[in-house]
Amino acid sequence: MIGLSMTAYGGKSLEAFEDWVSSAKGLGFDFIEILSEWPHYLTRENAAFFREVLNSYDLKATVHAPFSDLNIASFNTRIRDASLEIIHETIEVAAELEALVVTMHPGHCSPISVKNRDKYLEIHHDSLRKIARWGEEYGVKIGVENMPRFPILDAQTCDRLMEVVGEVEIGVTFDVGHLNTTTGNFDRFMRLFGDRIVHVHLHDNSGERDEHLPLGEGTVPWERVIPKLPDVTWTLEVDSLKSARKSLEFLKNLH
């Protein structure tokens, strides 16, 4: 199954969302990835709207949990608790939408965490264990995503992501574009995580930064990567319907 992320929806309100979903359906997508970020967070108050629109086009949903301003590995208890509360609400609402998977970002680094690496990892694991329990409670798959090259972001390599998730019984979202900005070691990522990969994000870039280009317009070696990707849900994370159309055509021509 392949879906389209709301990264391709440019509306500042949800007024044009139904028309956009109709266009995505027309392109042949199987689901929409609801990006719960400003200016259209997924909440208990608007869940019915998303459900009604997607159901009317016979589309399923995946959810990308909020990440801006959140830090599940914060040393500040109040910040960490608020971040976890938001993640909990997202999982709860995702369950109501019968979402196929929820993708979330790991915590990120701070001056304190850099100086106290062991404690930081302990806090990280504790938060992820709570999130994993919520996923099990609500029957929702959770995927912790590898991060792109950016100063404060953690889990930029497959080895570091493995440290972050550790032995916590939680899945992984494999973001191919993100890994292209760091190690580009796609084979190792898939070997290391194997069945823990519950979801995949597809987009392209030049290898220097997280550009979210259409597939084929960057340096990701798609001819080598696509045949090896696991049989899970794949989401296109591009910036427009035009880019989505280009990416679908690119995938079609690969076969």
User: For 33-63, what is each residue's pLDDT tens digit?
Assistant: 999 999 999 999 999 999 999 999 999 999 9
Locus of tokens 């317009």? 217
Nearest Cα residue to 33 out of 6, 13, 65, 54: 6
Q: How far apart are CA 150 and CA 57, in angstroms?
A: 37
Long-range contacts of 79-84 (CB under 8 A, 24+ apart): 80/123, 80/127, 83/127, 84/127, 84/130, 84/131
Q: How far apart are CA 164 and CA 141, in angstroms?
A: 18
What six digits make up the tokens of 117? Answer: 């690496």
pLDDT, tens only, 149-190: 999 999 999 999 999 999 999 999 999 999 999 999 999 999
Amino acid identity for residue 104 in this structure: M
Q: How far apart are CA 19 and CA 41, in angstroms?
A: 19
> Under 8 Å CB-to-CB from 1, ≥6 apart: which residues?
30, 31, 60, 100, 233, 234
Q: How far apart are CA 200 and CA 103, in angstroms?
A: 9
3-state secondary structure of 243: helix
Q: How far apart are CA 157 and CA 253, in angstroms?
A: 30
pLDDT, tens only, 62-80: 999 999 999 999 999 999 9
What six digits make up the tokens of 65? Answer: 């949990």
| Domain range enclosing 204 | 2-254
CATH number at residue 147: 3.20.20.150
Q: What is this structure's pTM?
A: 0.96
pLDDT bin (cut points 50, 70, 90) of residue 145 is very high
pLDDT bin (cut points 50, 70, 90) of residue 254 is confident
Number of domains in the chain: 1
Q: What is the pLDDT of residue 210?
A: 96
What six digits make up the tokens of 175? Answer: 């973001």
Check: CB of residue 226 under 8 Å from CB of residue 251.
Answer: yes
Average pLDDT, the chain: 96
Write out the H or E segment, with its range, that includes residue 104: strand 102-104
pLDDT bin (cut points 50, 70, 90) of residue 238 is very high
Q: What is the DSSP string of 179-197?
A: HHTTT--HHHHHHHHGGGE
Total Cβ atoms within 10 A of residue 187:
12
> Under 8 Å CB-to-CB from 176, ≥6 apart: which residues?
186, 200, 201, 202, 203, 220, 225, 229
pLDDT bin (cut points 50, 70, 90) of residue 114 is confident
